[in-house]
Amino acid sequence: MPDPSTTGSDPRPSPPPPEATPPKPWRTEGLPPPPSSKTNKPRWSLFAMAAIGYAVVFAILTVQDRLSAPEVVPYTEFRQQVVGRNVAEVFSRGDSIQGVLKKAVPVPGETGQSYERFTTERPTFASDDLLTELADGGAQVRATPLVQERGILANLLISVAPFLLLIGFYVWMFRRQQSMMGGGILGSAPRKPVDRDTIRVTFDDVAGIDEVEHEINEIVDFLKDPGKYRRLGARAPKGVLLAGAPGTGKTLLARATAGEANVPFFSASASEFIEMIVGVGASRVRELFAEARKVAPAIIFIDEIDTIGRARGGARAFGGHDEREQTLNQILTEMDGFSGQEGVVVLAATNRADVLDPALLRPGRFDRQIVVHAPDQKGRLAILKVHTRKVPLAAGTDLAQLASSTPGMTGADLANLVNEAALLAARLGQDSVTQRNLLDALEKVQLGTARSLVMPEAERKRTAYHEAGHALLGMLMPGADPVRKVSIVPRGRALGVTLSTPDTDRYGYDANYLRGRIVGALGGMAAEQEVFGVITSGAESDLEQVTRVARAMVGRWGMSNRVGPLSVLPTEGDPRMAGISESLLTAVDEEVRRITDECYAEARRLLREHRPQLDAIVRELLARESLDEPEIYAAAGIPRREPAPV
């Protein structure tokens, strides 16, 4: 379902894991409680405790040394104590003398301070007979120190401890790095379980994709009651591939499947397995599958699997040692290891199923491929009801009308729409969200945020004719989508916008409808040329749309008699690589030019024939700047056509 046609004048999450636990390349939901309430200490605590212990011991020894250190006194003071026969013991090593007095005496030059232990230095020129004097005074002379020095163990601790701490720090860093790279060579701390009741979703939170829910219900039934299938010799699908456009709800559907089955859910993005170091991705895959087997039955969800699951041997591969190939090979090996009895199911999501390796898609790996489409009108209404559960809606709010005005929107788009309306209501100080808030939010999402830009009057008038040309041709062309809004208020990169959306969802387009789209897209440029005789750069986005539609008509959809029912232009890549000749490509270009020229001539003819209606729309636009659907048709005097059957 393509996005609504827009033409213009110019172009709840889980709490983060504790920092102490090395992060895993996946997230978990609904794991069973740990077998023991005993918690493991973080690795860094061991290093911190060792550092603190070393600091405490060092401080104690330092203080002890300072408290037990003898008083340094002059040699003359020592001589006075010797003469006064107050020296009890001495120890001499060279000219250094240490000792203890019989009675404490004041420290020379200091008041209130006294000393008993002392140390001094004997001058080399002293000629006194110190030994005789000490012996006469009854002092005991020793050859060993009176104040014992620090012991061997203490000295060893002080000298070796810094090196031990440094080695311990490097070991800790190495273990942490290894654990962050996917398991670690030296082991890793266990992951903290996630509460199974905090972030669970079920099928009640999923809407708009009922047919997909029906397909995946078999997985839920198997995980709830595997014995029913084993009795009949059946095995569950090993893998289910969810393919669809971004925002269609693939991840939400996978989470709801795990929540509905009430089993643990492991989710990861494929890019999180890739590292510069070859082999890390494969190691992470092994650990992920091992963790899932421990708590089976369980679901493993790999998002954006095309990141590592691209077909091997392509231009982006670098041989058998490429990291992506090794990671992909490990996934294939792990899925081959399933016997169907473990109760582990792998879900994967991608929006590029066409680029996946065939080995992934064969039976026995991803047995099923489920395409998740954008919701239809009924599905959009159901999605809006889900997203407005906790949003207070004002009386008279019509979600059915909003659903009919949003063709092509996905579940993510609708969730964003409701959130924008709630933000707008909060800014206005309202107690509830009104229909006007929802429509204003839709206008912001589809057309862009209005800019406060003051345009010159001539530019403003030319923009009005440009947008009026789009709108008038949209009302005149048979089978064209109804015009919903015209505005000359600058939004985003555009100076004005014209919005057209179908009354009902469309799933196929005929040549007449597509030619009408081209005529309408060329209406702005045709109006400028008819009225002002000029062509401006404001038609850039219109011409891009015209070229894209015309080339698809001729080169992909077989809507040209000259080219015939051939698919000439691939969705991507050079068509010459597929064997398309230059003459056929030239014919495609000429047919695209012919269709575009015919539609442009038709646009100018219709605008000339309906010039009064064009001028009337311009007058209203210049006066009001924005016109809604009833105002547009009233200004042109053209009745609103009833919806045509599709």
Q: Take residue 118 and report the two structure tokens written for it.
A: 């002392």
Active site residues: 467
Contact yes or no for 209/249 (Cβ under 8 A): yes
Beta bridge partners of 115: 105
Instruction: Please state, in angstroms and rounded to a whole number, the distance separating the CA atoms of residues 473 and 613.
Output: 11
Q: Take residue 374 and report the two structure tokens written for it.
A: 């954008």
Instruction: Please state, in angstroms and rounded to a whole number, the distance separating the CA atoms of residues 323 and 320.
Output: 9
Instruction: Please state, in angstroms and rounded to a whole number, the distance separating the CA atoms of residues 567 and 548.
Output: 15
Contact yes or no for 519/599 (Cβ under 8 A): yes
- DSSP for 511-565 reads HHHHHHHHHHHTHHHHHHHHHHS---GGGHHHHHHHHHHHHHHHHTS---TTT-S
Buried b (16+ CB within 10 A) or exposed e, 200-232: bbebebbbbbeebbeebeebbebbeebeeeeee
Phi, psi of 640 (to 5 degrees): -75, 125
Contact yes or no for 169/47 (Cβ under 8 A): yes
User: Which residue, 607, 541, 478, is CA-closest to 5?
Assistant: 541
Residue 199: strand, helix, or coil = coil
Q: What's the distance, Cα to Cα, between the start and end of the chain in Å? A: 14
User: Which residues have a Cβ under 8 Å from the Cβ of 641 and sit 6 or more positions away?
Assistant: 482
Q: Take residue 92 and report the two structure tokens written for it.
A: 């001499």
Phi, psi of 644 (to 5 degrees): -85, 145
Q: Report CA-CA distances (Å) from 185 to 22, 189, 191, 288, 588.
A: 14, 12, 17, 16, 60
Residue 254: strand, helix, or coil = helix
User: Which residue, 396, 394, 399, is CA-closest to 430?
Assistant: 394
Instruction: Please state, in angstroms and rounded to a whole number, the distance separating the CA atoms of residues 550 and 571.
Output: 14
Instruction: Please state, in angstroms and rounded to a whole number, the distance separating the CA atoms of residues 578 and 228.
Output: 50
CB atoms near residue 105 (< 10 Å): 17
